[in-house]
Amino acid sequence: MMANTPRKVVCVEDEVEMIDLIRLILSRRGFEVIGANGGREGLEIIRAELPDLVLLDLMMPDVDGWQVYQQLKADPATAEIPVIVVTAKAQNIDKVLGLHIAKVDDYIPKPFSLQELVDRVEAVLKRRDQARAA
């Protein structure tokens, strides 16, 4: 991948303010952020854009984040896209279940710090790049 091509991140989130905040944070670091309002729209946008990374909220009214995640992983076109779950469900049991059973790439509990978001996004993309290069 050419270094001057911006990394594309789809943010699937039912709170527009959160999408705007994430777009603001990540666009400053050179990412292109596409917001998707809710799970159904998220699936459509992810399939159309095939982003470098998905930031996925779990608690959404239409299609919840786990359903979105399962559909992405079941589709060969989207199965390799890294997913970071961003959610207010910060109990440890959820985190363990999410990371181990579903094999999400990372998990960011809300509220999160801006630096934590940037660090985790960059770390997951770096791991993916290293895996591809191996």
pLDDT digits (tens, 9 = 90+) for 42-84: 999 999 999 999 999 988 888 888 889 999 999 999 999 999 9
Evaluate whether 81 touches 53 at the Cβ level (below 8 Å). yes
Best CA proximity match to 60, nearest among 18, 116, 101, 121: 18
Span 4-22, average pLDDT: 92
Q: How many CA atoms lie within 13 A of 89 on its CB side?
A: 15
**Domain boundaries along the sequence of the chain:** 8-133
pTM of the predicted model as reported, rounded to 2 decimal places: 0.89
- pLDDT digits over 95-112, tens only? 666 666 667 888 888 888
CATH topology of domain 8-133: Rossmann fold (3.40.50)
